[in-house]
Structures are given as structure tokens and as C-alpha cells.
A and B are shown apart, each in its own frame.
Chain A
């Protein structure tokens, strides 16, 4: 499979990565080479072979669905750029807070 500029542009859009227009050609070449390399799998007969989703030879464990963690909004927000932590006073424990993002609703 050979990818052209516009295909790379739309993959980058899906991946939410801004790619400068002048890099698209080079990237298209690189990604096409990689796809050509992986496409050798087409020659393998996989009829009737179930896909392998995990190597762990076990079923996913089940547990009771209850809240076992939480109650530290300041810890959750500690690494967030531009986060707002709500407290009654500077010394008081955090009551809650917000992640912040650019305005999404006009």
C-alpha cells in the first residue's frame, strides 16, 4: 500500500497530531515503506486461525463493582496544566476542581 499526502494528512488528523505541510511527502514515503514491509503477512495462510488477543492463558478476573479509591481531587489535578482546585480556604482540604480546556461551546 502506498500512501499519498492526503492520506497521511487524514491519518494525522485522526491521530490529532499536527504535521507541517512540508513534512507530508517525506512521511508518506516512510509510512509507505513500512506498510510494504508489513504487507508480507498477506502471503501467510491464516484461514481458520483465531486472532490472538492476549498471550495470558487466563480469563480476565472479575471483581465486585464498588468504589475502592478516590477522594483526593488535588492529587488528581496536581499534574494538570491550568487546573483549578476548589478549597474553602488555602489551608482547607480540596473540595473538588476542574481540568481546563479551550472554550468548546460558543
Chain B
């Protein structure tokens, strides 16, 4: 049964089609993994019975010749996607008992493609965090360990930490993630898997619990580039229910994996090599450049001069939008209510009890930067700098086809490390945030291991709606990297 859990989505689709095993057998194998690896705390809600019912229905559809593109594939869903009738928490106490009466567009699309939902995956509270340590339901453990110190528990990255850990630990074949400033790519890097944040507008945000609406974007996380391409194809598409959803055709992303990148120009931004960048990260980046050269692509040094302002810009824009989005949690319409003598007192007590410290901090910052007298100095200023950051990329893409950078400045760190100062924690996302501010597609793939045995990821950034080039280059890099390492004991 473990053998089934080691397959890629592409292999499993193929073998399900040949009748070598059923969706029920494949689902059972993953349910067993989910149960035996509960110690990682990757799931908030497990739905094994529902999954087996869906698997039976999937086998029946296949028998009738109605198989979808992900027919019978067991997936995990980040617990930020509303799933009809299944508790949806955003890893927050304030959504206690919330069962959405509707299904998010992305998960509905996956269902339509035949995918099976194994349950809801842990995350940082409201997707605010880079280590999956802010969840009300406790931290997620990375299945990878330091060779020198296997007893220390490491973070899986965040905010899609449960998704990344579950995929790496073979509990699910793939998972949905969401990315606001790096929440798909950084955990993918920390857990040695592939994840792509597509172009803003590619996937509908309808039914995804909002954090920062101008940045939030859903994307797939899986163990291969092709699996991500297959999943994104099913997740993406225009949705009139999200006014920022792009009315663009969805290409066959898996077809883009031609293996041919001859003549392609790959930008290497000099600003992504700050003083103090871990030597191993710099070395794996250099190796990535060599792989691309060997495959016939041409590296070009580029400059993205406003890079250093991306983090402060993000930490105005994202908290501002979060303070506005999270105003809806008031104890009236859903979730937790703490009674008070007056309406205001009820709001204040409910929100004090319901939000964790990181979420509270961001709401307060957001409230401040949007408040009368400070709006122009902070929020309007950040929106202007955001345009300069986006323009950096526009200029770069006049001469290059894709950009290669490290995904994160370090490999996974220990649970409890870096948590004293919020700004230090935020530095995790220094390479992923600029892409988010510009709304561009960014993919992280595992490129190698650190000397201590931890995965290191590289990021590919593409033009808007050119996920195909990103996938094509990622496919070539994946072949060159030959990353076959697995967490010890997995």
C-alpha cells in the first residue's frame, strides 16, 4: 500500500486508467498514511469516510467512461478553502464550528475533475505566517530532519505548511495552497516539493477565506512539476463570482513540458544575492544557472532595483487589506461569539478571544495605516512603491523570458526559532514577496539538499499568464536536479 502512496499524480492517473488499481484502493492507501502520520499535525479535519464514498463514486464514473482529468486522485485541501458541510477554520479560533454552506470555486473545480478530498490541512492562522506556528490547532512538523540533529522538530514553512508536509510525507498526492507573499513557494522549498503561485487572477478567489485580496492566489503543491501542471489545469479558469478572475483560456500546462528551452533568456537578478545569503543557497542557485546553460538557455544578469522595498511595501499593503477583510469576524454571523453587555463589547471580546497574536498584530498595523491622517503616508505610499516594484519586473521581461532566484534565504528552521521578532520571521519571504506584489506566476522546485540534509528550493518567475514557460523551464530543471531524496523514514 505504501507503494501506491509513492506514485506521482501522473503515474496514478495512468495506472487507474489501465485498471491496475481502483480509486478506492488508492484512497485507502492514503487514508492509512494520514492516520499513521498524525503526529505531524498536518490535518485539522480528516474526512476519510467522505473520501471513500467519493472514491467509490469515482470508480463508478470511470466504469461509465466519464473519468475527469484528476479522476480518483486523493488530495488535501488547505483549510482556507470553504468546503460545503466540512468544517473550515482558517486555523483560527474565531471560526469555531463554521461549516460553509457552499463550496469554493477551486475545490468545486477539483471535484468536477474527479479528485478525492482527504481532509482539511493545517496552516498559519488566516494564512498569516511563514512557519505554520501561528495555527490555533498547533504547529505542523516538517517530515524532514537535520542529519546532525534528527531529534529537533523543524517547521514546514508557511502558511501552507500542512499542505507541504502532507505532500512530502506521502499522505496526499497533491494539495491546494494559497499564496499571499510566499505561502505556497516557501513551504514547498522547506519540504522538498513543487508548488506554484499562478498569475493573480488565474484561479478564482471565490470561497477562499480572504487575507489580502489584491495578493491572495490559490495554487497547487505536489511532488513533481507535471503533477502541479495537471492540478493547476483543473483548478484554474474564469469565474464570474470573482471580479478579479481573468477571462483567459486555461492552457494544457502539462503539454508545455517539452523539455526544450534552447535560446530562452533567463534573468538572474543581482539584488537577490544580499550580503549574508546562506552560502549553500547561493551555491544551489549557481548550480541552477549551470543546468539551464547546459540545456541551451542563456542566463542574463538583470537588475530589479526596488527589491529591497518589497518587504516594507508588503507589510503595509497586506495588513491594511487584512484589517479590512477580517472586520467581518464580529460574533454575529458565524463562528465564535463571546457575550458582552453591549454590541461593541461583544465585538471586542469576541475578536480578542478569537484572533491569535500575529493576526491581532497585523489587524492593528492595518487599522493604523488606514486611519485618518496616516493613509497617505503609509498606504498610498506603499501602493506607489508597489507600482515601482511591478515596473522593475515589466522592464526585466522586455529582455528575459523567465527569472531564476532562490525561493527562501535558508532551509527549514526549528519550531520556536526566529519567533521573538516578527520582522525577522518576515525575512523568510524576501524572495517571494516581490513576485506577489507584481501578481506574477512563481514556482518553487526542489534543487538539492543542504549539507545537513534539508531541501533547498529555487524559484522561477514568469510573465503574467505565462505559466507555460515557467513549467517548461521547471521541467528541465527538475530533470537536471534529479531530486529523489525523501524525508528519513518516509
Binding site for B on A (CB under 8 A): 3, 8, 11-12, 14-19, 27, 30-31, 33-35, 37-42, 44, 46, 49-58, 60-61, 63, 72, 75-76, 78-82, 99, 101-102, 104
A34-B422, A79-B99 in contact; A16/B347 too (CB < 8 A)? yes
Q: Is the CB of B337 within 8 A of A49?
A: no
The answer to whether the Cβ of B291 comes within 8 Å of any Cβ in the partner chain is: no
Q: Give the secondary structure class of B's interface.
A: helix
Stretch in B60-68, B135-143, B238-246 with 4+ CB within 8 Å of A: B238-246
Most chain B CB within 10 A, of A3, A46, A55, is at: A55
> Chain B residues near A81 (CB, 8 Å)?
331-332, 334-337
Sample of 5 A–B contacts (CB below 8 Å): A16-B351, A49-B385, A49-B388, A56-B201, A102-B339
Q: Is the CB of B421 within 8 A of A33?
A: yes
Q: Give the secondary structure class of A's interface.
A: loop
Picked from B327, B364, B378, B388, the residue with its CB within 8 Å of the CB of A46 is B388
> Chain B residues near A35 (CB, 8 Å)?
365, 368
Q: Is the CB of B365 within 8 A of A17?
A: no
Q: Is the CB of A40 within 8 A of B364?
A: no
Q: Is the CB of A46 within 8 A of B351?
A: no
Q: Is the CB of A99 within 8 A of B332?
A: yes
Q: Shortest beta-carbon distance, B434 to chain A, in Å?
A: 12
> Chain A residues near B342 (CB, 8 Å)?
102, 104
Q: Is the CB of A40 within 8 A of B309?
A: yes
> Chain B residues near A78 (CB, 8 Å)?
99, 101
Q: Is the CB of B384 within 8 A of A50?
A: yes
Q: Is the CB of A16 within 8 A of B315?
A: no
Q: Is the CB of B351 within 8 A of A80?
A: no
- Determine the residue in chain B with the shortest Cβ distance to A14: B367
Q: Is the CB of B244 within 8 A of A34?
A: no
How many Å lie between the Cα of A3 and that of B369 in the bound state?
A: 12
Binding site for A on B (CB under 8 A): 97-99, 101, 200-201, 214, 240, 243-244, 246-247, 306, 309, 311-313, 315-316, 323, 327, 330-337, 339-349, 351-352, 355, 360-361, 363-365, 367-369, 371, 378, 380-388, 390, 421-423, 437-439, 464
Q: Shortest beta-carbon distance, B280 to chain A, in Å?
A: 27
Q: Is the CB of B243 within 8 A of A61?
A: yes
Picked from A52, A72, A79, the residue with its CB within 8 Å of the CB of B390 is A52
A27-B364, A49-B384, A54-B244 in contact; A104/B337 too (CB < 8 A)? no
Picked from B246, B313, B351, B437, the residue with its CB within 8 Å of the CB of A56 is B246
A44-B309, A79-B334 in contact; A58/B364 too (CB < 8 A)? no
Q: Shortest beta-carbon distance, B437 to chain A, in Å?
A: 8
- Determine the residue in chain A with the shortest Cβ distance to B346: A102
Q: Is the CB of A34 within 8 A of B464?
A: no
Q: Shortest beta-carbon distance, B374 to chain A, in Å?
A: 8
Q: Which 8 A-B pairs have the closest CB atoms?
A: A55-B439, A51-B383, A79-B334, A81-B337, A46-B384, A52-B387, A18-B352, A18-B348
> Chain A residues near B464 (CB, 8 Å)?
57
Q: Is the CB of B323 within 8 A of A15?
A: yes
> Chain A residues near B384 (CB, 8 Å)?
44, 46, 49-52
Q: Shortest beta-carbon distance, B447 to chain A, in Å?
A: 28
> Chain A residues near B332 (CB, 8 Å)?
80-81, 99, 101
Q: Is the CB of A42 within 8 A of B381?
A: yes
